[in-house]
Every structure is written in C-alpha cells, then in structure tokens.
C-alpha cells in the first residue's frame, strides 16, 4: 500500500512538473502603444514656437496583452520617460495594474513635459520650422506573473518608441516601436 501511494505521488509530481514547463510556462507579455496625443500645446510666432510657460502633456494609450495562463501584475513604481534629441523632457509614473490571464489590459499614461528643458534645446526651432517634432519614449515595467498562485516569476518589460508628431495638427504622424525586451 505504501509502494502504491509512493508511485502515485511520484507520477503526480512528474505530471505537475510537465504541466509547469509546458502548459503553464511563463510567456512574455506584449505591450503596444495604440495612440499618442499632444495636449495643451499652444503655439506663438506664426505657429513656429511653443508659448513659454505652457504646460504640455503627451497622452499615450497603451495596452498590455497577457498570453499566459497566469495573471501579470505590475506595480506603480514604473516610469516612462520622454526624450527630445537625447535629453529627458518629460516623465510619467505608470499606474499599477493587473492583466488577467489571456486578457488585454489598457491604460492611459500622461507624460508631463518640462517646458524649460524642451525650450532650451538648440534643435527646437528647426523642428518647429519643419512642422515635425521627433521624440522617443522609454518605458520599464517590472511585474510578477503568477501561475496557480503557487509559482511567481519576476518579469520586466522594456519598451522603446519613436514618434513623429505634426506640430500644426498636434497629431501623430508616425510611431515606430522596437520589439519590447522582456526579461524573465
């Protein structure tokens, strides 16, 4: 009887290990930027320069697709940075959230631009004269994927995007994101 119980427990352990490494294997979450809008941008001087002292914001609609059979939770200590010609001109805290198993979670990230840093760039006048403003974003989202509330795996998703914005319409002209880097 003890031999049968031991054999059953060994078979059960083997089945659980096989399931963990196949069906319940942690897969990389997919992050996608759906839209990217500039708000509060007031122009002066025949639409060639931003008005000094105006608070400018960028709102990005981002979706996190979780392909796992486990939930993906991310904390609120995540940051998104907005760069203009290599200089950080804006920052936002990404709110915490949870992408349920095999679901997509959407969130809006509002990046407040620091006008003084943007205005001090020597490239700003040329970009405004061309009518196009090129910015890059970098997001780092650490979180945890839990399988059956037993196995917890630390996951970090990094996303880099380059956006070209039409200044007069304040609309996104192009958005190119590098394939997200995911560390498991």
**Considering the chain, what percentage of its residues have pLDDT values greater than 70?**
90
What integer pLDDT is reported at residue 88 of this predicted model? 94
- Provide the pairing of β-strand 97-99 with 30-39: unpaired
As given in the structure block, the two tokens for residue 61 are 């609609």
Look at residue 16 and tell me if it is in a domain: no
If you average pLDDT over residues 169-178, what whole number do you get?
Answer: 84
- Distance between CA atoms of 104 and 100, rounded to whole angstroms? 7
Look at residue 18 and tell me if it is in a domain: no
28-83 tens-digit pLDDT: 777 777 887 777 666 655 555 666 667 788 888 888 788 877 788 887 778 889 99
What integer pLDDT is reported at residue 40 of this predicted model? 66
Q: What is the pTM of this model?
A: 0.75
134-158 tens-digit pLDDT: 999 898 888 888 777 777 788 888 8
Look at residue 19 and tell me if it is in a domain: no
What integer pLDDT is reported at residue 48 of this predicted model? 54
Domain extent, residue 107, equals 29-183
Look at residue 65 and tell me if it is in a domain: yes
Q: Residue for token digits 């009518």?
A: 131
Look at residue 99 and tell me if it is in a domain: yes
Kindly report the average pLDDT of the chain as a whole number: 82
Phi first, then psi: give them for residue 119, nearest 5 degrees.
-70, -25
66-77 tens-digit pLDDT: 887 778 888 777
Domain count for the chain: 1
Look at residue 13 and tell me if it is in a domain: no
Look at residue 20 and tell me if it is in a domain: no
What integer pLDDT is reported at residue 168 of this predicted model? 77
What integer pLDDT is reported at residue 90 of this predicted model? 92
Domain of residue 42, CATH code:
2.60.40.10
If you average pLDDT over residues 90-112, what whole number do you get?
Answer: 86
For 5, the enclosing helix (H) or strand (E) is helix 2-21
CA angle 146/139/30 to nearest 5° reads: 45
- Distance between CA atoms of 81 and 160, rounded to whole angstroms? 10
Look at residue 4 and tell me if it is in a domain: no
């Amino acid at each position: 009887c003890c031999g049968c119980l031991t054999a059953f427990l060994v078979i059960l352990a083997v089945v659980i290990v096989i399931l963990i490494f196949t069906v319940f294997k942690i897969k990389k979450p997919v992050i996608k930027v759906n839209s990217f809008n500039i708000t509060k941008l007031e122009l002066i001087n025949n639409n060639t320069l931003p008005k000094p002292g105006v608070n400018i914001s960028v709102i990005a609609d981002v979706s996190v697709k979780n392909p796992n059979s486990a939930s993906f939770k991310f904390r609120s200590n995540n940051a998104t940075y907005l760069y203009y010609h290599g200089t950080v001109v804006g920052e936002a805290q990404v709110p915490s959230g949870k992408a349920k198993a095999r679901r997509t979670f959407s969130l809006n990230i509002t990046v407040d631009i620091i006008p003084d840093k943007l205005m001090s760039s020597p490239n700003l006048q040329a970009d405004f004269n061309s009518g196009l403003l090129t910015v890059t974003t970098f997001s780092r989202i650490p979180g945890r994927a839990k399988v059956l509330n037993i196995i917890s795996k630390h996951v970090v998703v990094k996303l880099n995007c380059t956006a070209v914005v039409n200044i007069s319409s304040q609309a996104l002209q192009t958005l190119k994101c590098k394939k997200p880097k995911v560390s498991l």
